Amino acid sequence: MDKSLQIQYQKKLTTADEAVKVVKSGDKLFIGEFVQVPEALEAALAKRVDELENVQLRATTYSKPLKTVAADPTRTKFIYDDWHFGGIARRLYSKGLAGYIPLTYHQAPRLIHKYVDVDVVFAQTTPMNEKGFFNFSTSNSITHANIDKARTVIVEINNTMPVCLGGNNEGVHISEVDMIVEGPNNPLIEVPPVPVSDVDRGIAKYVMEEIEDGACLQLGIGGLPNVVGSLIADSDLKDLGVHTEMLVDAYVDMYEAGRITGKRKNIDKGKMVYTFAMGTNKLYDFLDNNPMCASYPVSYCNDPRIIALNDKVVAINNALEVDLYSQVASEATAYRQISGTGGQFDYIFGAFNSRGGKGLICISSTFTDKQGKVHSRIVPTFKPGTIVTVPRSCTHYIVTEYGIAQMKGKSTWERAEALINIAHPDFRDELVEAAKEMNIWVRSNKLQ
């Protein structure tokens, strides 16, 4: 390593307690993304709870409990908002301790540059390499956009993380860093695959019928991607590509089975493109210094114009509910924020504009509430406080374990009819009656 880089490193090296002294009351902080938690810095900031007021903390799907929030149950010292909800933010939100920031995900770096003030960034990175770069590892997304706006940039090193190659903006040079903290080096949080249900298998059967040789895949989170990945690995599909928001373990299985080559992609040929990764150590080990994988900011990875440049994009996402107008609710229902818009709209829109592309919203036909009552996920209309993630004008395919329904070019009654035909049989009659009351003309004789 160049001696001048070593000198810079030593000059900027400090402790977490010293580093967080730059934070002032009223500051706006970006404190990390997904499975990468700058633990030493966040814990040190929490210790300053009695000295600070109105410090705004923003993160993307934080995956560990926040010591700052625990230190301030009044939400007057540290105000936490999240760009996309996971389990941590969901629980905090229910207690009034977190807020959600609505966004169209691919626009996030641009809107940060235009509208968001950032005083301090805490970014967890790999150790500096011989060229003076700290790698963002599994979480590219919006980290560099925040660094671009920040007054002070502090990196916390974790030497257990994989080095994730770009792409672009997958790291930051020491010349852009103000302080360096060597963290506790805890391993990345593992997100084990969600158990696969019989319903997932039923849905996957229809999904598999839509995937052709040379298709370019985007998989969301949950049990369904696991079963689709397993079915693809055991299939005879050839030369699949990857251009996805989130990289999960299922892609490793498909690659190791020889199904993913990326040879037929029009852009990033031969590369598995993603903006963040969450999974088990199998995935993290696969990513480490792997030139097959390319990490990009979300402004590239999720841009519908970029997505559409590849042919046969198959985007597979889930939802909470779909109404008879074919609107899709995937993030909030009845005043309860559950996740976020994420990249669902980006990929549904981008996949449709891809030559031969398909945007699939996959849902179980029913769910059972805490009282044991079964409800249909296909509903007449949404309850107040339910947020539309994909408007009906953009909805492409809806898939349940009872079939697949294509929405494009269909009238309102044709959409309702198609949706009722893939709803759970126990709810179809009442959905027909609801459609009549809503003045959607449904030819009930065609509903079986």
- Active-site positions read 245
Which DSSP helix (H) or strand (E) runs through 62?
A: none
**d(C-alpha 135, C-alpha 436), whole Å:** 57
**d(C-alpha 298, C-alpha 84), whole Å:** 13
Burial class of residue 342, CB neighbours in 10 A (0-12, 13-18, 19+): buried
CB 80 within 8 A of CB 66: yes
Residue 390 DSSP label: B
CB 320 within 8 A of CB 338: yes
**d(C-alpha 307, C-alpha 417), whole Å:** 31
Handedness of CA 179, 124, 347, 390 (dihedral sign): negative
**d(C-alpha 193, C-alpha 115), whole Å:** 37
CB 275 within 8 A of CB 298: yes
Burial class of residue 26, CB neighbours in 10 A (0-12, 13-18, 19+): exposed
